[in-house]
């Protein structure tokens, strides 16, 4: 069955003035849509057609040879973008609270230390990629991945991500990736979504 482009969870103008409607239009309707379209073309008539997105990612992650690599790259980018949109909300931010805040304090020393580490990972990811807050061996960790890579294939549940491909920020911030990252962290993160992801991981290990 063909995959469909998930709609944005908010209106395209809802993240303004921090991210413009034009930037979301290009990022979601062109870039994200292109990954969905390409994935559907690649999996047509193959065993991947019957699989979930996560299963495709896990089944193709270790194969570095075309055309399987292309299936992985596009499936992974579809998953990453679906997840990324949900990490933001209009009137987002504030700071995490409750069990998630306690855990950030335990594993990073506090929210400010987490923020620095996440910001650093996003700024220093060389070229295109993503920065993540994941659960790794029971601890919260910040990681970065290049191109389409994500934590799905290595069993590290993702709690939060930021897209640092140039297409994510060039229209609004041009070359100023650090300004985009700071804007994301200070005005856009949906900490309720992140806390929900954390809670879901806790449920699984109980
Ligand atoms: Fe993107």
Q: H or E segment at 170?
A: helix 166-173
pLDDT of residue 152: 76
Among 32, 55, 86, which residue terminates a domain? 86
Tell me the mean pLDDT in the region 96-112.
96
**pLDDT tens digits, 105-127:** 999 999 999 999 999 999 999 99
Ligand 1 geometric centre to CA of 98 (Å): 30
Q: How far is Cα 206 from Cα 185, in angstroms, rounded to an integer? A: 30
For residues 128 and 183, state if they share a domain: yes
In a domain, 122, yes or no: yes
Q: How far is Cα 37 from Cα 41, in angstroms, rounded to an integer? A: 6
Q: What domain count does the chain have? A: 2
Structure-token pair, residue 137 = 């061996």
Radius of gyration for the chain, computed over Cα atoms and rounded to the nearest angstrom: 17
Ligand 1 geometric centre to CA of 24 (Å): 10
**pLDDT tens digits, 158-206:** 999 999 999 999 999 999 999 999 999 999 999 999 999 999 998 877 6
For residues 197 and 102, state if they share a domain: yes
In a domain, 45, yes or no: yes
Q: Which range marks the domain in which residue 40 is found?
A: 21-86
For residues 109 and 59, state if they share a domain: no
Residues with CB under 5 A from ligand 1 (ion): 163, 165, 168
Q: How many CB atoms lie within 10 A of CB 126?
A: 8
Residues whose CB falls within 8 Å of the CB of residue 168, separated by 6 or more in sequence, listed in order: 27, 162, 180
CATH of the domain at 167: 3.55.40.20
Among 86, 114, 134, which residue terminates a domain? 86
Structure-token pair, residue 76 = 């992974």
Ligand 1 geometric centre to CA of 3 (Å): 18
Ligand 1 geometric centre to CA of 77 (Å): 8
Structure-token pair, residue 115 = 């923020």
For residues 25 and 120, state if they share a domain: no
Among 86, 110, 129, which residue terminates a domain? 86
CATH of the domain at 29: 1.10.287.990
In a domain, 50, yes or no: yes
0.85 exceeded by pTM: yes
For residues 197 and 112, state if they share a domain: yes
């Amino acid at each position: 069955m063909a995959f469909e482009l998930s709609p944005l969870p908010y209106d395209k103008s809802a993240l303004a003035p921090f991210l413009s409607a034009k930037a979301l239009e290009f990022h979601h309707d062109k870039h994200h849509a292109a990954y969905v379209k390409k994935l559907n073309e690649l999996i047509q008539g193959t065993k991947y057609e019957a699989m979930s997105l996560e299963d495709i990612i896990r089944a193709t992650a270790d194969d570095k040879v075309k055309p399987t690599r292309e299936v992985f790259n596009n499936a992974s980018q579809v998953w990453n973008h679906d997840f990324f949109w949900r990490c933001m909300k209009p009137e987002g931010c504030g700071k995490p609270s409750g069990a998630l805040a306690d855990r950030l304090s335990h594993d990073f020393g506090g929210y400010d230390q987490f923020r620095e580490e996440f910001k650093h990972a996003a700024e220093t990811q060389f070229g295109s990629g993503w920065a993540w807050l994941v659960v790794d061996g029971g601890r919260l960790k910040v990681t970065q991945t290049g191109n389409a890579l994500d934590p799905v294939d290595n069993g590290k549940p993702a709690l939060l991500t930021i897209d640092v491909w140039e297409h994510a920020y060039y229209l609004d911030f041009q070359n100023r990736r650090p300004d985009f990252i700071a804007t994301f962290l200070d005005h856009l993160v949906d900490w309720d979504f992140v806390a929900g992801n954390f809670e879901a991981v806790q449920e699984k290990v109980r």
